[in-house]
Amino acid sequence: MAKIIAISNQKGGVGKTTTAVNLAACLAEFGMSVLLVDIDPQGNATSGLGVEKNRDTANTYRLLIGECSVKDAIAPTAFPGLFIIPSTVDLAGAEAELLSADNREYILRDALSEVRDRYDYIIIDCPPSLNVLVLNGLCAADSMICPLQCEFYALEGLSQLLETVEMVRTRLNDNLSFGGILFTMFDGRTRLSAQVIQNVQQTLNEHIFRTVIPRSVRLSEAPSYGEPITKYDSRSAGAEAYRNFAREILSGDGKRIRSRKKKIFR
Ligand SMILES: Nc1ncnc2c1ncn2[C@@H]1O[C@H](COP(=O)(O)OP(=O)(O)OP(=O)(O)O)[C@@H](O)[C@H]1O
Ligand SMILES: [Mg+2]
């Protein structure tokens, strides 16, 4: 039964998609069966894995408005063990279209429940907002991981973010836990990055992952080739950092790294 993890932060450009794509790829590399769900109309996770943003085939938008089944919405990627529900720009219209839908926050949860037993992990890449799409992501998830950019303004959104989790937990999904904060774009040459981490550690009583993702040009280049960092530059510091992060996730869940030879489900 898959563990469902939403990668979320209302703030834009903090590394959500980079984390979702590369965590999913590293877990797959470690032998897990992984489904990445792109619920952002920008579709960055979709193109980041080299999958076409095709409005005519099944995608997250069609899934949410009931035009296709979850099984139809799942597409393979070029990477063994890694599958995706792709997004298109149509998803931007879903909010208005779902306004009158019953249980509109739970559509994704109910859809994923049909395929949950086929995967070890389902990773949801959320858009930078708190709309019905993100609420669908957080209602479907067992835990939410929040990437935080190592910069001064990161701290400003933090309390709002934790309030969001609490709100979702009390009103919509009491199963949701806060998985932790992942620091991204760490720049070892500046004092600011280290100060931001220290500040959060001192003020926040929440889990913070040991792994810190470095600022790396290779990580920012990989999406334009439609590849996760494990393929684009497997030996880079960014690839190693995301592998370490994936190891933390696996050990927290009591799972062990497997060989990639097991049967892969679609
Ligand atoms: N560790 C890193 N080092 C260098 N560049 C990075 C790193 N992580 C992310 N980036 C780059 O920063 C930009 C924002 O990252 P990303 O798209 O992952 O953030 P996001 O939170 O998903 O953004 P949005 O809120 O728009 O969805 C991208 O250009 C990405 O390539
Ligand atoms: Mg994104």
pLDDT, tens only, 93-134: 998 899 888 899 999 999 999 999 999 999 999 999 989 999
Tell me which of 151, 184, 215, 220 to substitute to probe ligand 1's pocket, judged by most ligand atoms within 8 Å of the beta carbon. 220
Residues with C-beta atoms within 5 A of ion ligand 2: 16-17, 44
Q: What is the mean pLDDT of the chain?
A: 93
In the chain, pLDDT over 70 holds for what percent of residues? 98
- The arithmetic mean of pLDDT across residues 192-206, rounded, is 88
CB 233 within 8 A of CB 218: yes
Residue 55's pLDDT band (boundaries 50, 70, 90)? Answer: confident
Specify the pLDDT at position 261.
60
Q: How many whole angstroms separate alpha carbon 6 and alpha carbon 141?
A: 6
pLDDT above 80 (res 265): no
Span 247-263, average pLDDT:
85
Mean pLDDT in residue range 194-215: 91
**CA of residue 148 to ligand 2 center, whole Å:** 13
Whole-number pLDDT of residue 152: 81
Per-residue confidence (pLDDT) for residue 266, from 0 to 100 = 43
pLDDT greater than 60 at residue 205? yes
264: pLDDT strictly greater than 70: no
Smallest CA separation from ligand 1 atom 11, residue: 220
Instruction: Indicate if the pLDDT at residue 155 is higher than 80.
Output: no
Yes or no: domain 3-252 corresponds to CATH 1.10.4160.10: no
Q: Of 74-88, 115-129, 153-167, give the lowest mean pLDDT range.
A: 153-167
Alpha helices in the chain (DSSP H): 16-29, 44-48, 60-64, 70-73, 94-97, 107-113, 132-140, 158-171, 191-203, 217-221, 229-232, 237-252
Pocket lining for ligand 1, CB < 6 angstroms? 12-18, 40, 42, 44, 127-128, 184-185, 213, 215-216, 219-220, 223
Ligand 1, atom 5: closest residue by C-alpha: 220
Name the more confident of 201 and 29.
Answer: 29
Q: What is the CB neighbour count within 10 angstroms for residue 166?
A: 12
**CA 167/CA 140 separation, integer angstroms:** 15
> Counting ligands in written order, which one lies closest to the CA of residue 238?
1
HSE-CB of 206 using CA atoms within 13 angstroms: 20
pTM of the model: 0.96
Residue 203 confidence (pLDDT): 83
| Residue 42: other Cβ atoms inside 10 A | 18
Q: Residue 198: which of 212, 177, 214 has the closest Cα?
A: 212
